[in-house]
């Protein structure tokens, strides 16, 4: 299986997303939430795999995002389901910081 290639898009300056904050993004049709957890940046699919709710509207506890609709939990580092009712993992996206600017990558086949 070929390695996924990404196209990176500038989405914000680093000072626009301080620790504890999040940004809701749309990049090439992908709805993505970008989180800053203690200075680490993580980007995940914004849509819960259970019922299409916005994860960006949910509570964040450490590295766990809790869906506001039915309380499914996901690890924002890996996209793995941590608690039902969701059973399907969510996508994660690579994040880069260059010269104070934040870039999020989406799969090239989507661009």
Q: What is the pTM of this model?
A: 0.93
Q: Which two tokens stand for residue 69?
A: 């609709």
Return the domain boundaries, the chain.
6-110
In the prediction, which pLDDT does 2 show? Answer: 67
DSSP 8-class letter at 5: -
What are the distances in angstroms from CA 111 to CA 22, 29, 53, 85, 101? Answer: 24, 9, 24, 31, 21
Helix-, strand-, coil-residue percentages of the chain, each rounded to 5: 10, 50, 40
Q: pLDDT digit of tens for each residue in the chain (111 aa)?
A: 568 899 999 999 999 999 999 999 999 999 999 999 999 999 999 999 999 899 999 999 999 999 999 999 999 999 999 999 999 999 999 999 999 999 999 999 754
Inter-residue contact 13 to 101 (CB < 8 Å): yes
In the prediction, which pLDDT does 22 show? Answer: 98
Pick the CATH number of 6-110 from 3.40.50.150, 3.40.50.970, 2.102.10.10, 3.40.50.1100: 2.102.10.10
């Amino acid at each position: 299986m070929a390695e996924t290639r990404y196209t990176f898009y500038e989405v914000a300056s680093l000072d626009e997303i301080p620790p504890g904050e999040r940004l809701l993004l749309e990049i090439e049709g992908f709805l993505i939430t970008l989180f800053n957890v203690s200075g680490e940046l993580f980007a995940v699919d914004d849509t819960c795999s259970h019922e299409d709710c916005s994860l960006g509207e949910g509570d964040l506890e450490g590295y766990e995002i809790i869906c506001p609709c039915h309380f499914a939990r996901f690890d924002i580092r890996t996209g793995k389901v941590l608690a039902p009712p969701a059973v399907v993992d969510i996508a994660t996206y690579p994040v880069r910081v260059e010269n104070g600017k934040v870039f999020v990558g989406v799969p090239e086949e989507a661009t």
